[in-house]
Amino acid sequence: MTRTFDDDAKYRFATRTIHAGQRPDVASGAIMTPIVQTSTYVQDALGVNKGYEYARGKNPTREALERNVASLEGGRHGFAFSSGMGCIDSLMKLFKAGDHIVCGENVYGGTYRLMDKVLTHFGMTFSFVDTRDPQRIADAITPATVALFLETPTNPLMRLTDLAEASAIAKQRGVLMIVDNTFASPYFQRPLETGADIVFHSTTKYLNGHSDMIGGIAVLIDDDLAARIQFIANAAGAVPGPMDSWLALRGTKTLALRMRQHDANGREIAQWLAKRVGDERVFYPGLASHPQHELAKRQMTGFGGMISVETGSKENAATVLGRVKVFALAESLGGVESLISHPASMTHASVELARRTQLGVTEGLIRLSCGVEDAEDLLEDLENAFTGL
């Protein structure tokens, strides 16, 4: 009674996090996927091999990760990359000079930087719009538009885009819809089910969940588009090593467990903060006061552990950041440990001041990535940090 990879789809989410895309090693029976640390594969004879020739193209450890995350997102194909940015860069190589992309104005700072400071040199053009309003998406699409690029919820202001409405527009206008699902993770949101063509992650964050590697992954359903991405992945070569692939694969095994705890802690801390500093200063889609709370409930099954808070000034922000003991001052998010950061001078430092201000990324804004520690310890830490503010 051996399970085949085709069986994976019939199991529920948490079962798939642990088993999808992986089988005990044929040679030894090892329950854990081997870390196949090799650059090349010995061929049996000229033109005869076991499906592996050179590790830029394929690696069994990487393939296990790709099958696993493809299953979690409800896709048919997964392509792992050496970082989230490497993934986005490779996806952008689907396009060419003269192509236009409509992108959310509030996307990850590094995404904006890649588009605005690098890809424009290659003749691609971008419109950054407030994708909370579907009409603005529709209005920004021109005959040259090839893709709609979305992130929801966004970093750090937790703004949402209605994925079903956006995909209806994308389908009607014949443009590809690409969604960065890093913040919600497939446990809480699966954009392919609401019509996205490609969903991707920085695996560095919730999918790995232990802050010990950098990676990216794209998942999709369409076979022809997958063949094009496979070609680019091998041609451009931004692929992850087997050790990092293995770490991400080990991380996804506890994704359901971790996300439930991130979410429980996130809700409790957001409510505490709302009472402490006022609803209007806390950005968390799980709060009834969030302007898009109804949409959040409709398209996500949980809200996760990312919260931003307006402290009122850079001095207040510095006070909080300087006082915390359990929250660690650091960039990044999605690990088991709680992190705290100052978007204006950290993740969004590469975004010009005028644009930052227009987006609402103020000097007083701080961002929390609530980990999976005991909520009481996190609350006590914040209680102390906010004393007198």
Ligand X SMILES: *Cc1c(COP(=O)(O)O)cnc(C)c1O
- Which residues contact ligand X by CB under 6 A? 83-85, 108, 110-111, 151, 155, 180, 182-183, 202, 204-205, 214, 216
- In the complex, residue closest to ligand X by CB: 84
Which residues, 6+ apart, have CB-to-CB distance to 354 below 8 Å? none
CB of 201 to ligand X, least distance (A): 8
How far apart (Å, rounded) are the C-alpha atoms in residues 267 and 279? 13
Comparison of 206 and 327: residue with beta carbon closer to ligand X: 206
Comparison of 180 and 381: residue with beta carbon closer to ligand X: 180
Mark whether 180 is an active-site residue. Answer: yes
Comparison of 151 and 363: residue with beta carbon closer to ligand X: 151
Q: Which of 11, 41, 52, 56 is catalytic?
A: 56
CB of 3 to ligand X, least distance (A): 31
CB of 184 to ligand X, least distance (A): 10
DSSP state of 371: -
Mark whether 12 is an active-site residue. Answer: no
Q: Which of 159, 190, 205, 356 is catalytic?
A: 205
How far apart (Å, rounded) are the C-alpha atoms in residues 234 and 237? 5
How far apart (Å, rounded) are the C-alpha atoms in residues 370 and 382? 11
Mark whether 297 is an active-site residue. Answer: no
Comparison of 17 and 202: residue with beta carbon closer to ligand X: 202
Comparison of 216 and 335: residue with beta carbon closer to ligand X: 216
307 is written with which tokens? Answer: 């919260």
CB of 199 to ligand X, least distance (A): 12
Which residues, 6+ apart, have CB-to-CB distance to 221 below 8 Å? 75, 76, 77, 192, 197
How far apart (Å, rounded) are the C-alpha atoms in residues 157 and 307? 8
Q: Which of 108, 187, 206, 284 is catalytic?
A: 108
3-state secondary structure of 219: strand
CB of 49 to ligand X, least distance (A): 32
Strands of the 339-341 sheet, one edge to the other: 282-283, 306-310, 365-369, 339-341, 328-329
Helix (H) or strand (E) holding 150: strand 145-151
Whole-number CA gyration radius for the chain: 21
Helix (H) or strand (E) holding 112: helix 109-113
List active site positions. Answer: 56, 108, 180, 205
